[in-house]
Chain A
Amino acid sequence: MESSQADINREIEVAAQQPGGPQPKTDYAPYRSSILRHPKQPAHLVDPESVELWAPVFGHRDVADDEADLTIQHAGTPIGERIVVTGRVLDGDGRPVAGQLVEVWQANAAGRYRHQRDQHPAPHDPNFTGVGRMLTGPDGTYRFQTIKPGPYPWRNHVNAWRPAHIHFSLFGSDFTQRLITQMYFPGDPLFALDPIYQSITDPKARELLIAQYDHDVTTPEWSTGYRWDVVLTGTHRTPLESDVSSDLEEEA
Chain B
Amino acid sequence: MSAVPGQTVGPFFHLGLEYDGMNELVPPSHPKAVRLHGHVYDGNGAPVPDAVIEIWQADPQGHIPRRPGSLRRDGWTFTGWGRAATDPDGHYQFATLEPGPTEAGRAPFFAVTVFARGLLDRLFTRAYLPGDPSALDADTLLSGVDPARRGTLITTREPAGLVFDIHLQGEGETVFLTYPRLRDAWS
Chain A residues within 8 Å of chain B by Cβ, number: 85
B78 to chain A, nearest CB (A): 12
**Chain A residues whose CB sits within 8 angstroms of the CB of B184 once the complex forms:** 234
- Looking at B30-38, B157-165, B168-176, the stretch in contact with chain A turns out to be B168-176
Asked whether, in the complex, the Cβ of B169 is within 8 Å of the Cβ of A242, the reply is no
Mark B35-65 against chain A: 1 for CB-CB distance below 8 A, else 0. 0000000111010100000101110000011
User: Given the known A-B contacts A92-B181, A181-B5, A209-B5, are A131 and B66 also in contact in the complex, defined by CB atoms under 8 Å?
Assistant: no
Chain B: interface residue count, which band?
A: 35 or more
Tell me, in angstroms, the Cα distance from A61 to B77 when the chains sit together.
12
A24-B121, A51-B111 are known contacts. Are A58 and B68 too (CB-CB below 8 A)?
Answer: yes
Closest CB in chain A relative to B184 CB, distance in Å: 7
**Which residues of A in the span 198-231 have a Cβ within 8 Å of any Cβ on B?**
199-200, 204-206, 208-209, 230-231
Q: How far is the CA of A192 from the CA of B124 in the complex (A)?
A: 30
**Interface residue A76 (Cβ < 8 Å from any Cβ of B):** no
Q: Does B6 contact A (CB under 8 A)?
A: yes
* Interface-side segment among A10-18, A34-42, A77-85, A139-147: A34-42
Residue of B nearest to A204 (CB): B2
Report the minimal beta-carbon distance from B26 to chain A, rounded to whole angstroms: 15
Secondary structure at chain A's binding surface: helix, strand, loop or mixed? loop
Interface hits, B118-132 → A, CB 8 Å: 118-124
User: How many A-B pairs with Cβ below 8 Å?
Assistant: 252
A-B contact pairs, 6 of them (CB 8 A): A36-B44, A38-B120, A180-B122, A181-B6, A196-B8, A204-B2
Residues of A within 8 A of B (CB): 21-26, 28, 31, 33-41, 43-52, 54-63, 90, 92-94, 101, 103-106, 113-115, 117-118, 129-131, 133, 167, 169, 175-176, 178-182, 196-197, 199-200, 204-206, 208-209, 230-236, 242, 246-247, 249-250
Which B residues fall within an 8 A CB radius of A? 1-17, 42-44, 46, 48, 54, 56-58, 64-72, 79-81, 99, 102-103, 106, 109, 111, 113, 115-124, 140-141, 144-145, 149, 168-170, 173-187
